[in-house]
Amino acid sequence: MSRTPDTVKLAAVQMHVTDQLEDNVARAEAHVRDAARQGAQVVLLPELFENLYFCQVEREDYFGLAHPIEGHPFIGRFQNLAQELGVVLPLSYFEAAGQAHYNSLVCIDADGSLLGNYRKTHIPDGPGYEEKYYFNPGDTGFKIWPTRYGRVGVGICWDQWYPETARVMMLQGADFLLYPTAIGSEPAEVETPNSHHMWQRAMVGHAVSNSTYVGAANRIGTERVGDLEQTYYGHTFVSDYTGEIVAELGEQEEGALVHDLHLAEAKKFRAGMGFFRDRRPELYGALLTTDGVTRRG
């Protein structure tokens, strides 16, 4: 891989989703092509864009939506698209692997090659977001991808709430961070606010604490699965390395949000802030426990 370019043009796609695979894949492809026409070099699609967000409910039938990487129904199509357009595509999908199922992502480089597979680390479980029923906890560890357009760090949705995810990817050398998501309204009985603001603030915090660009792609529209209905609130955005939201779509807009990432400027700023210089990892042992007690063997 050549050196990280000084500037990269990122596109984060916001789109609605139906229960028809071909419809969703064709729409996603059209958005990628539109982003490439606008000069995008890295294009982020939303989480699990291949179907409705089925995790609203627990139904055995939805396991049938999962596929292995080998012979996958659309990963190869996006590899060809990446090669044709010369763009990097971090691509979310529902993975079947033996008897296990994962909420996964492959990163496709600009030549169409697969750089590897990431399995979502943090799996939520709550009304309307019943992911633990479907997905095994990810076993790949956090990943960064050395692409034609820089070292890309990608978490998946619930991962975006964890500062540990962002910090590990930055320690591994990520030039910027991306998060494909599927998030919106909560069922009436849930006390969590139906607001995109907290969602954005969590990721903006990662941008500040790591002096890095952060981009998130969300879906839009109202989806009914079983007896439940959710409205996804959009607000796909890009934050710069100081935590300013520099580009954002609304709650109903569909399309590609395109913005320049000035990676050389971010790298210089990051070094000057000293966050990575002043870290004290030898004192962070409590982070390796679940109850805050550092245990010694």
Residues whose CB falls within 8 Å of the CB of residue 172, separated by 6 or more in sequence, listed in order: 142, 144, 153
Task: Provide φ and ψ at 203, rounded to 5°.
Answer: -75, -35
What DSSP line would sit under 276-293, residue for residue?
A: TTS--GGG-GGGGSSSSP
| Residues 231, 236, 240: CA angle, nearest 5 degrees | 155
Q: Which of the following is catalytic: 9, 47, 95, 107? A: 47
Q: Is 39 within 8 Å of 32 (Cβ atoms)? A: no
Annotated catalytic residue 251: no
Let me know: does 9 contact 266? Beta carbons within 8 Å.
Answer: no
For residue 101, list its beta bridge partners.
96
Strand intervals (E) in 17-99: 42-44, 89-97
50, 55, 107, 120: the active-site residue: 120
Among 9, 95, 131, 157, the one annotated catalytic: 157
259: helix, coil or strand?
strand
Of the candidates 274, 263, 149, 249, the residue with the CA atom closest to the CA atom of residue 213: 263
Using DSSP's 3-state secondary structure scheme, residue 13 falls into strand
Q: What is the DSSP letter of 54?
A: G
- Kindly state the DSSP code that residue 148 receives in the 8-state scheme: T
Is 47 considered catalytic here? Answer: yes
Rounded CA-CA distance 221/235 in Å is 12
CA dihedral 155, 96, 44, 118 (to 10 degrees): 30
Q: Quick check: is 55 catalytic?
A: no
Q: Which of 43, 14, 57, 27 is nearest to 182 (CA)?
A: 14
- Return the active site residues: 47, 120, 157
